[in-house]
Amino acid sequence: MRAVTLDGFGGPEVLTVGRVERPEPLPTEVLVRVHAAGVNPVDWKTRAGQGMAGLQKLPLILGWDVSGVVEEVGFGVTTLAPGDEVYAMPWFPRPAGGYAEYVTAPSRQFARKPASLGHVEAAALPLAALTAWQALVDTAGVTAGQRVLVHAAAGGVGHLAVQFAKHLGAEVIATARASRHAWLRELGADETIDYTARRFEEATGPVDVVLDLVGGTDGTDVRSVSVTRPGGLVVAVPGGVSDALAGAASAAGVRASAFLVEPDAAALTTIAGLVAAGAVRVEVERALPLEQAAEAHRQGESNRTRGKLVLEVTPH
Amino acid sequence: MRAVTLDGFGGPEVLTVGRVERPEPLPTEVLVRVHAAGVNPVDWKTRAGQGMAGLQKLPLILGWDVSGVVEEVGFGVTTLAPGDEVYAMPWFPRPAGGYAEYVTAPSRQFARKPASLGHVEAAALPLAALTAWQALVDTAGVTAGQRVLVHAAAGGVGHLAVQFAKHLGAEVIATARASRHAWLRELGADETIDYTARRFEEATGPVDVVLDLVGGTDGTDVRSVSVTRPGGLVVAVPGGVSDALAGAASAAGVRASAFLVEPDAAALTTIAGLVAAGAVRVEVERALPLEQAAEAHRQGESNRTRGKLVLEVTPH
């Protein structure tokens, strides 16, 4: 099968299209023909050699977000059958091999694709949506009436987090450039803050939960503590809890939690329901053919995309 | 740490206690101090070299059923913390290494241990209970009023299947030796059939679902088709769907499905709730120290146990 393989760490140019052996489904696994594969920051970080433990062995096929069609089921699989349209974030944070024509993974890591979406849009969802969902629901336990601050709200995870927080009944405060504010309000943001024009901590009142999708590079994490009420929670997604964040949080009586997403087909099923009901939509910035994975990484790393980048995988 | 390692396939005597390196939790994983590890037929089949694809590489640490205490959490884990009592069937059918002092696995494969059970009883549950649950609920979709026939109802999977089917509102027909009938009726069986005294297909009327935990060795699978109503389902657990079963089922308009269990913390959470509510109990035949894994296999293979065999793992 065709796949984009990573044979050495480096810039986008190390992503090369080649042929590798098609995987075989083990017992309990399904073989899925990938129609589209989402691109995420963890992809280019791993490509650059900044991958987390377990992602440093080469060669490697990147890609965790997949939408496709079940081609074959392994022994003992009873809940999926060939022809079923599915989407998933299999294996994360172990290699899943999404930038390829086929992937195999345990059947219970797959959920039914939202029927109202094509494969490109569906492939934009899993990692970003599960990150937002598991951070807001499972980690922060957001409930109706809470105030939730989402940093980088216009990004892949952020725009889904805004919608989920709204769905949970929270009051949503979103930071983003001014040009994204109208769109974020459409998605459900109650307050929008242009972080390039003013300090967010001076622009809003106390919040219960901060979903920090930016991290510590510009002190966003530490500054977030100052807007969080005592007993509230800062969920630090990209880099974990820095010593500076831990210190500030402890001094203020605020909790701070590192967070990393895991496969979760039950949540994907719930999310598919929200999409089908029109309560959640996903923004795809651009779809490129699998062969242009390097270009997708270049664009993603430029940090100037609004929605998600997706690779389309066409058979040939 | 201490572990029972399998360095070569063979009889129970190949199980040797030794020391191996303690695993480290990767991001999203937890390190669990194992207090008890359940023993299952797949353990001794794998030990004998009859393991399924993916379980033929040595050395190997057997064991999938674990109950224990979270010792350490890897990066990004937010839903479990050190000290939490958990149980799971991690990684199946990939090696999990349950016959050891510690295991690591993704946090979302663990569920909270039923509070009313000790570790020995909790370790007897996961693989058997998930098999019964996923076969009856996810595969057969058993609903109230259906008639469900459970073969080998007095075994590890069977006695849980009887209780789950009853909980789902089904009418339960159980095959077992006569000496087990009173106990099975206590667990919820409506009819009991002594398969040593008469042919089960002559002892009961048509059923909607057969849970076949025996397989094709004495024709139980094919004979099950004759008691299944057209459109009904035979779930063939141990060996899959034989050609003979497939042929008989097709001729009779009955469905036949191979089935293999998968990790499923959501179902384990539901099952823990049923245990806590007193709706389900688990029968432990005998608990032995980890060092007597070989003896546990000997007893298990003798096929004369009523409930489950469990290894206790004490620190020293």
CATH of the domain at A197: 3.40.50.720
* DSSP code at position B231: E
A144 falls within a domain: yes
pLDDT higher than 80, residue A167: yes
Q: Residues B113, B24: one domain?
A: yes
* Res. A224: pLDDT tops 90: yes
Average pLDDT, chain B: 96
Note the pLDDT of residue B154. Answer: 94
> What pLDDT is recorded for position A51?
86
Q: Which of A27, A77, A92 sits opposite B53 (nearest CB)?
A: A27
Confidence of residue A217 (pLDDT cuts 50, 70, 90): confident
How many domains are contained in chain A?
Answer: 2
- Please check whether residue A54 touches B, CB under 8 A: yes
Give the mean pLDDT of chain A: 96
Please indicate, yes or no, whether residues B136 and B236 belong to a single structural domain of this protein: yes
HSE, side-chain direction, 13 A CA sphere, residue B101: 14
Q: Can you tell me the distance from the alpha carbon of A154 to that of A149, in angstroms, rounded to the nearest whole number?
A: 13
Residue B188 structure tokens: 């919820």
Say which of A28, A54, A108 has its CB closest to residue B93: A28
pLDDT digits (tens, 9 = 90+) for B197-229: 999 999 999 999 999 999 888 899 999 999 999
Domain span including residue B150: 128-258
Is the pLDDT reported for residue A16 higher than 80? yes
| Chain-chain contact of B76 with A259 (C-beta, under 8 angstroms) | yes
Are A192 and A218 in a shared domain?
Answer: yes
Is residue A81 within 8 angstroms of chain B, CB to CB? no
* pLDDT value for B185: 98
Domain membership of residue A250 (yes or no) is: yes
Residues above pLDDT 90, as percent of chain B: 93
User: How confident is residue B175, by pLDDT bands cut at 50, 70 and 90?
Assistant: very high
Largest interatomic CA distance in chain B: 59
**Which of A97-111, B258-272, B298-312 bottoms out in mean pLDDT, i.e. has the lowest?**
B298-312
One-letter amino acid for residue A261 of the chain? V
| Interface confidence (ipTM) of the complex | 0.93
Taking residues B99-105, report their average pLDDT.
98
Assess whether B157 and B247 both reside in one domain. Answer: yes
Cα–Cα dist A36/A289, whole Å: 9
Indicate whether A272 belongs to any domain: no
Residue B217's pLDDT is 80
Q: Is residue A303 pLDDT above 90, yes or no?
A: no
For residue A231, the tally of other CB atoms under 10 A from its CB is: 10
Q: What percent of chain A has pLDDT over 90?
A: 93
Examine the domain organization and report whether A26 and A114 are in the same domain.
yes
pLDDT of res. A216:
80
Give me the pLDDT at residue B238, please.
85
Cβ A76–B240 below 8 Å, yes or no?
yes
Domain check: are B17 and B113 in the same one? yes
pLDDT at B52: 86
| A204 falls within a domain | yes
Residue B76 forms contact with A (CB below 8 Å)? yes
User: Which residues in chain A are contacts of B28 at CB distance < 8 A?
Assistant: 92-93, 260-262
**Tens-place pLDDT, residues B106-164:** 999 999 999 999 999 999 999 999 999 999 999 999 999 999 999 999 999 999 999 99
Among B223, B227, B158, B221, smallest CA distance to B188 is for B158
Q: Which residue has the higher pLDDT, B307 or A152?
A: A152
Kindly indicate the confidence band of residue B276, based on its pLDDT and cuts at 50, 70 and 90.
very high
Between A306 and B264, where is the model more confident? B264
Give the mean pLDDT of A2-25: 96
The percent of residues above 70 in pLDDT, for chain B, comes to: 99
Asked if residue B272 belongs to a domain, the reply is no
Give me the sign of the Cα torsion angle A272, A275, A280, A285: positive
Lowest mean pLDDT among A11-25, A127-141, A214-228, B57-71: A214-228
The pLDDT of residue B53 is 80
Q: Are residues A119 and A23 in the same domain?
A: yes
Please check whether residue A28 touches B, CB under 8 A. yes
Give tens-digit pLDDT for B74-91: 999 999 999 999 999 999
Task: Evaluate if residue A45 carries a pLDDT over 90.
Answer: yes
User: Is A174's pLDDT higher than 80?
Assistant: yes
The reply to whether A106 touches chain B by the CB within 8 Å rule is yes
Cα gap A177→B53, rounded to integer Å: 52
CB A272 within 8 A of CB A111: yes
Within-domain flag for A63: yes
Residues A54 and A153 in one domain: no
Q: How far is CA B312 from CA A211, A226, B281, B303, in A?
A: 42, 49, 19, 21
Say yes or no: A92 and A199 in one domain: no
Within a domain: residue A270?
Answer: no
B159 shares a domain with B193: yes
> A203: buried, middle or exposed (CB in 10 Å: 19+, 13-18, 0-12)?
middle
Q: Is residue A237 part of a domain?
A: yes
What is the C-alpha separation between A223 and B281, in angstroms, rounded?
Answer: 51
Which residues of chain B are within 8 Å of residue A112 when distances are taken between CB atoms?
none
CATH code of the domain in which B96 resides:
3.90.180.10
- Indicate whether B7 and B27 sit together in one domain: yes
- Predicted pLDDT at A176: 96
Do A161 and A107 lie in one domain? The reply is no
